[in-house]
Amino acid sequence: MKLSCLSPPLPQIKPELLAEIAQALTADGCRLLIIAKPLAQRAQIFSYGLQPRNSTPIEKHLLWQDILKPQTTTTAETSLTEVYLIDRIWEHPTLAPLSISFAAAGIQSLLIVPLRHNQQCIGCLTLFRSRSNLQWTDEELKSARRLALNLYFAVVQQQVEQMFQDRAYRDLLTGLPHRVLLDRWLNFTLTKMSATGQFLAVILINLDRFKNINDSLGHRCGDRLLQLIATRLKHTLGASVIVGRWSGDEFALLIPELRDIDAVKTVADRVLGSFDLPFVFEQDFQALKTNSLYIKIGMGIAIATDDNLDQETLLQQADIALRRAKNNGKNSYEIYDPIAADAVTIGTSSPQLNRLRLENMLDRAIVDRKLFLHYQPQIDIQTGTIVGIEALLRCQDHHSNTINPADFIPIAEETGSIIQLGEWVLRTACNQSKLWQEMGLGDFPVAVNFSVKQLQDRNLIDTIAEILTETKISPATLEVEITESIAIKDLDLTISILESLREIGVKISLDDFGTGYSSLAALKYLPLDRLKIDRSFIRELKLNTIDASIVSTIVNLGHELKLNVVAEGVETIEQFELLRSINCDAVQGFFFSRPLAAADLETMIITGSYWHHNCTHPHNLLSH
């Protein structure tokens, strides 16, 4: 028995395990692929017994790539693990490029079983037989499905357990698991709930007056308070509850393996009781003439009793309950109630009142961390590789309804909160870029949109330099996007700011090109790397039209100026083919991907599912 792999193996996957799998399913050999995750820089392949004699992994072939693609829908049928059986390999046209490799090893049939649960696929098991007269029985196929599901849970559980041991997934200040780790744990635990018959609860804890403490006593005091709270929560709850830091002044409690909902209330009461005692510091606060602080909290609780909830919905429910608890007064908790959550009265109001309500929602969203980013890839039009990713800000109100960016961005501009928002977007995008690099997904630049107010901020360059140093990413992997209309409002200032960014090494792109009033003048003076064609020219793009002529002219102009040209808003194969025919460099739009959450984009990058078959370029999932 011999186990070969492309990178350090997962401890539980041993030669004996693969041998047992082959023996149980009457196979002469087998291979196990684990797709790359944060814990592994590359995809992992384990093998036992009879193997095809091929210089490159067979999993790079389109057949396996198609099987590994994420499913876009989940039903009772699609949630079951499918099996892919090929009895006579030499008669299968798709496998013609591999036929010699299989024939040389004497392999005559194979069985591919993806390690999939609902929409998530983490790899696949491939089994080989050298006997063409031996058919795979229905019982063997059922066993293969059960085995694949068990392997899925074993691998994901191991990945999550390793993350708990990895300091990279712990908050630097408190040492508690941070949001990424908590989110992955929730996702895994929810997927296996149906098998255990148990349920789980999430409790979000928000501190009252924490901003006031930071402002009055200093951030050092605020940091120390967070450390004291973390220690007290761990001491109060013990090992049965996972305690994590969710955001700035929010903690999360995850309670697994529950059989009694009343036990959740017991935990919540213990937490409230622990805050009856003051938090004692090492030295007195002169302004308060004491060394202790009493802190009040609000808690929101959501309970999952089956696996029909995803972690995002469960967390939204906990957040809704938290908002109700905060409204009810200090030191209280609320359990999510769908009837109360839906009881929102919407009446007619004046434009002024609507504006005030939106301003208030935006302020609360910033304070309550109701901000998140979605990411949309930019694709090289010839090779299909990702050459950039645009980070797009999203915001939710206190009922977890998404606010239209076209509504809140102008208000953020007018109120000045865009500076705070912009810094948050920069830091979050840079941290995500660093994480993708550590995952081995690529070092493509992540683009962040800048507004007029941000360009006018005198601390902008220092802020960007500080964030780059803090996140330890190369300046070349950050791209600043400004629109043409913003650039020409104060051309001298814009040029000065962009030249300073160029000196740091940050890339610069001009967005919405073709919609401003002084396009050529802007291009002449601005230090740019990329030009983005406005989607209004792409929407009606067809051969032999005015739009086609304009787009072709912009592409040629960009190339004459040594700029990379990106077309936004690409939604059809016709638009794509026309852009490719006029040598546009890259494309972005719904034809490839809508803006996605980071985890969903990771899956898309790993599987290469953003690149359509009709684009005639097979994407190599193992190249990442």
Q: What average pLDDT does this structure show over 421-432? A: 92
pLDDT, tens digit (0-9, with 9 covering 90-100), for 193-235: 755 567 889 999 999 888 888 888 888 899 999 999 999 999 9
Q: Is residue 599 part of a domain?
A: yes
Is there a single domain that holds both residue 384 and residue 306?
no
Residue 292, strand partner residues:
280
| Better-scored residue on pLDDT, 400 or 160 | 160
Q: Are residues 333 and 417 in the same domain?
A: no
Give 91's contacts (C-beta < 8 A, 6+ positions apart).
Answer: none
Coil, strand, or helix at residue 331?
coil
- Which pLDDT value is given to residue 404? 72
Low-confidence winner among 59-63, 305-309, 318-322, 383-387 (lowest mean pLDDT): 305-309
Q: What is the pLDDT of residue 417?
A: 77
Quick count: other Cβ atoms within 10 Å of Cβ 576?
24
Query: What per-residue confidence (pLDDT) applies to 425?
Result: 92
Q: Would you state the structure tokens that stand for residue 53, as one six-digit string?
A: 């004699």
507 and 429 inside one domain: yes
CA dist 88 and 108 (Å) reads 6
Q: What confidence score (pLDDT) does residue 308 get? A: 64
Q: From 107, 136, 162, give the residue that closes a domain.
A: 162
Q: Within this chain, do residues 335 and 359 fall inside the same structural domain, yes or no?
A: no
Task: Look at residue 236 in the predicted model and tell me its pLDDT.
Answer: 93
pLDDT at 613: 46
The H-assigned helical ranges of 472-508 are 484-487, 491-504
390 in any annotated domain: yes
Spatial contact of 593 and 604, defined as CB atoms under 8 Å apart: yes
Q: Are residues 192 and 60 in the same domain?
A: no
Structural contact between residues 307 and 117, judged by C-beta atoms closer than 8 angstroms: no
Q: Which residues pair with 567 in a beta bridge?
A: 533, 587
Given pLDDT bands bounded at 50, 70 and 90, which one contains residue 350?
very low
Nearest C-alpha neighbor of 341 from the set 401, 394, 269: 401
Instruction: State whether residue 209 is helix, strand or coil.
Output: coil
User: Is pLDDT above 60 for 546?
Assistant: yes
Token pair for 570: 């690409």
Least reliable range by pLDDT among 19-33, 66-80, 358-372: 66-80
Please report which confidence band the pLDDT of residue 352 belongs to, taking 50, 70 and 90 as the band edges: low
Q: How many domains does the chain have?
A: 3
Give me the pLDDT at residue 41, please: 56
* CA 241 vs CA 258, 271, 561: distances in Å: 11, 11, 59
* Domain-located, residue 6: no
Q: Is residue 7 domain-resident? A: no
Residue 77's pLDDT is what?
Answer: 40
For tokens 């980071």, the residue is 598
pLDDT at 248 over 80: yes
Task: Provide mean pLDDT across the span 305-324.
Answer: 82
**Residue from 450, 434, 153, 204 nearest 317 by CA:** 204
> Which residue spans within 500-554 are E strands per DSSP?
507-513, 530-533
- Domain check: are 361 and 471 in the same one? yes
Give the pLDDT confidence score for residue 508 in this predicted structure: 94
The percentage of the chain sitting over the pLDDT mark of 90, rounded to a whole number, equals 27
User: pLDDT tier at 354 (50, 70, 90 boundaries)?
Assistant: low
Amino acid code (one letter) for 321: A
Domain containing residue 427: CATH number: 3.20.20.450
Contact between 59 and 621 under an 8 Å Cβ cutoff? The reply is yes
**What is the pLDDT of the chain when averaged over all its residues?**
81
Q: Judge whether residue 95 has pLDDT over 80.
A: yes
Residue 620 in domain:
no
Task: Judge whether 531 and 522 are in contact, CB under 8 Å.
Answer: no
| Predicted pLDDT of residue 369 | 66
Same-domain pairing of 150 and 262: no
pLDDT confidence band for 81 (50 / 70 / 90): low
pLDDT band at 166 (very low <50, low <70, confident <90, very high): low
pLDDT at 129: 92
- pLDDT at position 341 over 60: no
Does residue 619 lie in a domain region?
no
Segment 268-272 shows an average pLDDT of 92
Please tell me the predicted confidence (pLDDT) of residue 517.
Answer: 54
Least-confidence region, from 172-186, 227-241, 328-342: 328-342
Cα separation, 443 vs 433, whole angstroms: 8
pLDDT at 299: 93
Contact (Cβ atoms closer than 8 angstroms) between residue 106 and residue 89: no
How many C-beta atoms lie closer than 10 Å to residue 197's C-beta? 9
| In 381-436, beta strands by DSSP E | 386-396, 402-403
Residue, of 164 and 378, whose pLDDT is higher? 378
Give the model's pLDDT for residue 492: 82
- Whole-model pTM above 0.85? no
**What is the rounded CA–CA span in Å between residue 413 and residue 411?**
5
Structure-token match 């915001």, residue found: 395
The residue among 342, 371, 390 that closes a domain is 342
For residue 120, the surrounding DSSP H or E stretch is strand 120-129
* 186, 93: one domain: no
More confident residue, 490 or 72: 490
Alpha helices in 7-130 (DSSP H): 15-24, 62-68, 99-105
Last residue of a domain, one of 324, 342, 360: 342
pLDDT in tens, 102-118: 999 999 999 999 988 76
Q: What residue type is 475 in one-letter code?
A: P
Beta bridge partners of 254: 202, 242
pLDDT score recorded for residue 430: 95
**Quick one: DSSP state of residue 56?**
S
pLDDT of residue 156: 78
Q: Are residues 356 and 227 in the same domain?
A: no
pLDDT > 70: percent of the chain: 82
Tell me the CATH number at 215: 3.30.70.270
Residue 3 lies in a domain: no
Q: Quick check: 576 and 587 in contact, CB under 8 A?
A: yes
- Look up the domain containing 121 and give its range: 15-162
Q: What's the CA gap between 472 and 430, in Å, rounded?
A: 9
The confidence score (pLDDT) of residue 357 equals 60
| Domain assignment of residue 5, yes or no | no
What confidence score (pLDDT) does residue 6 get? Answer: 35
268 and 359 within one domain? no
Residue with tokens 């004291």, as numbered in its chain: 228
Same domain for 123 and 197: no
Token look-up 């082959």 returns 22
Residue 326 has pLDDT above 50, yes or no: yes
452 and 552 inside one domain: yes
